[in-house]
Amino acid sequence: MTLDIITHPLLDGVTHGFFGRQGGASSGVFGGLNCGFGSSDQHEIVAINRGRVAAAMGAVTLASVHQVHSAEVVTVDSVTDAKPQADGIVTATPGVALSVLTADCLPVLFADSQAGVIGAAHAGWKGAIAGILSNTVTAMETLGASRDAIRAVIGPSISQKAYEVGPEFYDSVLQADPRAGRFFVQGAGDRLKFDLPAFGLAKLKEAGLGQVDWTRHCTYADRARFFSYRRATHAQDLRSRDLHHQDAVGTRVTQAGHDRPPHGRP
């Protein structure tokens, strides 16, 4: 089956994609393109799925991190087996494919195509508040990117309509960011609904980026196309909770806007 790859015009000139669950080798509750080695899916099957994603990006393998809902960002110049604890990853090395995994949280791809610097970040509400998005931008600047030239796109993630939270969540977010009240609307009873994509876009703009967008795909709403932690939780399918993920990947471009052959190694 053909891979389901979502791209965005803001990142034209950069090989990139937000991958849905179609086209994978996994079956059962992991059915589709499960790219999470942390799952109880067969390791060999996950490796096949990741290989398909890498091939679609013109790379040999994927550079990734051990995501922990942090504000930590790592810089890579090749692909190794090491997976440091972080939620952002950046590179200026031609052909290195960066990846993050999500199943409701924000997958964010960044690129300064003129400088040849890219980044990828996984941002839940905790990471967004802690500064993972601005830290990714800062790390890209260290590699020669210009904040004015960096473009960022948020991929498929849970929409406000599906993200119901309680008053404790609201209090926690406002305690960390008193300006965040505008990202909540009233739900039933004491429940509220949180707009995580809009919150992420605001954080990107606060970081000084002028060209940002969301693909407007809701992971919760589209079971056939995307994995969703919250949907699995509501379905009480404990086997699939936070265990399977779609991938978001970008690879570096040259200043002319064409990809160089990948030279990262497993």
**Can you tell me the mean pLDDT for 226-237?**
81
Confidence of residue 258 (pLDDT cuts 50, 70, 90): very low
Tokens 């969301």, located at residue: 214
Q: Which residue has the tokens 């800062």?
A: 138
pLDDT 10s digits, 243-256: 445 666 666 543 32
**Predicted local distance difference test score (pLDDT) of residue 80:** 86
Q: What percent of the chain has pLDDT over 90?
A: 75
Question: Which runs of E-coded beta strand occur in the chain?
Answer: 5-6, 16-19, 62-63, 73-75, 88-91, 97-102, 106-112, 117-123, 151-154, 164-165, 184-186, 192-194, 211-214, 246-251
pLDDT tens for residues 61-85? 999 999 999 999 999 999 888 889 9
- Report how far residue 217's alpha carbon sits from residue 16's, in angstroms, rounded to the nearest whole number: 16
- pLDDT band for position 40 (50/70/90)? confident
CATH number belonging to domain 14-159+195-251: 3.60.140.10
Which of the 8 DSSP states describes residue 180?
A: G
The overall average pLDDT reported for the chain is 88
> 112-133: per-residue pLDDT in tens?
999 999 999 999 999 999 999 9
Of 107, 57, 61, 110, which Cα lies nearest the Cα of 87? Answer: 107
Q: CB of 135 within 8 A of CB of 261?
A: no
pLDDT tens-digit series, residues 12-31: 999 999 999 999 999 988 88
| pLDDT of amino acid 251 | 61
Given this model, what pLDDT does residue 214 score? 98
Q: Using DSSP, state whether 114 is helix, strand or coil.
A: coil
| The pLDDT of residue 150 | 98
At 1 the pLDDT is 63
Res. 257 pLDDT band, cuts 50 70 90: very low
Whole-prediction pTM value? Answer: 0.90
pLDDT, tens digit, 9 for 90 and up, residues 213-225:
999 999 999 999 9
What count of residues does the chain have? 266
Residue type, 116: G
Distance from first CA to last CA of the chain, Å, rounded? 25
Residue 260: its pLDDT value, please?
28
**Which pLDDT belongs to residue 191?**
97
